[in-house]
Structure formats: C-alpha cells, structure tokens
C-alpha cells in the first residue's frame, strides 16, 4: 500500500494536462474513438501524445490553439 506522501493524483502533476481519450474527448466535444482517430492521423497537431501502452495525454493549451477542432467545445 502506498503512503499518503507518495500518492499523487495525475491531475496534481500538471493542471494543463488531460489524461485519457475519454477526458480529452469530453474537452473537445468528441468521443474517445474519435480522439484516437484524430491522434493517429496527426490531426491534433502535437497536442496529444502517448504514455505507456497507448494512454493518451493532451495539453489543454495546445488543444485550445486548434480553433477549428474545438468548434463544439463548451468549457
């Protein structure tokens, strides 16, 4: 069991990062499948990257810089 000093939520590491395709999709108004498609085809212009076994991570700042992609964003 990890102690409280070493247990850190991923959101505490960097508030600019969004972890997981589902959360990225919620941010940009897309499904997780659509996020994977956009990432794999380079349409997210470096705003996303993979960690480990395919877990996607995205930068909120870089996603906001893609206005045509975020036309449906409601944040």
- Tell me the pTM: 0.72
pLDDT greater at residue 41 or residue 9: 41
Which tens digit of pLDDT belongs to each residue from 50-65?
Answer: 998 889 999 999 999 8
Neighbours of 61 (CB within 10 A): 10
Helix %, strand %, coil % of the chain (to 5): 35, 15, 50
**Whole-number pLDDT of residue 69:** 62
Average pLDDT over residues 6-14: 54
Burial (CB count <10 Å: 0-12, 13-18, 19+), residue 18: buried
């Amino acid at each position: 069991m990890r102690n409280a000093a070493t247990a850190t939520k991923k959101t505490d590491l960097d508030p600019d990062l969004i972890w997981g395709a589902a959360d990225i999709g919620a941010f940009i108004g897309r499904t997780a499948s659509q996020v994977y498609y956009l990432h794999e085809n380079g349409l997210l212009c470096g705003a996303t990257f993979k960690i480990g076994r395919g877990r996607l991570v995205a930068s909120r700042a870089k996603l906001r810089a893609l206005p045509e992609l975020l036309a449906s964003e409601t944040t």
